[in-house]
Amino acid sequence: MMMTVSLALPADTDTDSAEPVPLTPGAAYTHYPSVRRQYRLEYRAADWHTARRRCRRQGAQLAVPETQEQFDILQRIVRAMHYPNVTGTDYKLMAWLGVSSLDDYSVWRNVYGKNIMETNFHTWSGDNGKTSDNPREPHCAGVDATNAGLRDWWCHRPLVYICEIRV
C-alpha cells in the first residue's frame, strides 16, 4: 500500500519541480506538479476493462503518458512498487495504462479518445504496438519496469494499474 505524507507547500513553492508532492494522510494519489497529474498505483490486479472502470469510479482514468516525462514518472512508479503486495496476477512487473486499440484495431488511442500518434509520446518497446485485426492479439497497453516504451498486452489478463487525475 502506498503511504503518503501531508506536506504544506508555501505559496512560492516551485510547482515545476519533478519531485512528487504527497497529499494528505490517507489520500491514495501522489501529486506530480511538473506534469500536472496525480497518480495512484493499485496493487489489486484486474483485466484492462475492470481497471478502467475502477479508476473511473474514483473520478480518475487509467494513466495516459502524453510526454516522455510522464512516461518516465509512470515507469518509476512501477519500479518502486512493493512486488509482494501485488495480488491477483502472476505477472508483477507491468501495470496497465489508458491506451488500447479496442475500438479500431488499426489505431492505438488513449482513454480520452486521442490517437497516441498525435501526442508527444507514442514510443513502443521493441516490436510492441503493431496493429492487428486478430482479436487474439494484444490490444491494450501498459508500462513495465525496464523497457523504454509502451508494452502491448492481452486485455483479459490481470495486471496492476495506475490511475491518474489531471490537475
**Architecture of domain 21-166 in this structure:** Roll (3.10)
DSSP letters, the chain, are: -------PPPTT--TT-SS-EE-STT---EEEGGGTEEEEEEEEEE-HHHHHHHHHHTT-EE----SHHHHHHHHHHHHHS-GGG-BS-S--SEEEEEEE-SS-TT--EETTS-BGGGSS---BSTTTT---S-TTS--EEEEESS-SSBEEE-TTS-EEEEEEEE-
Q: Which residues contact 26 (CB under 8 A, 6 or more apart)?
A: 4
Provide the mean pLDDT of the chain.
Answer: 85
Q: What's the CA gap between 35 and 116, in Å, rounded? A: 17
**pLDDT digits 0-9 by tens, 102-160:** 999 999 999 999 999 999 999 999 989 988 888 888 899 999 999 999 999 999 999 99
pLDDT at site 57: 93
Q: Confidence class of residue 81 from pLDDT cuts 50, 70 and 90?
A: very high
Model confidence, pTM: 0.83
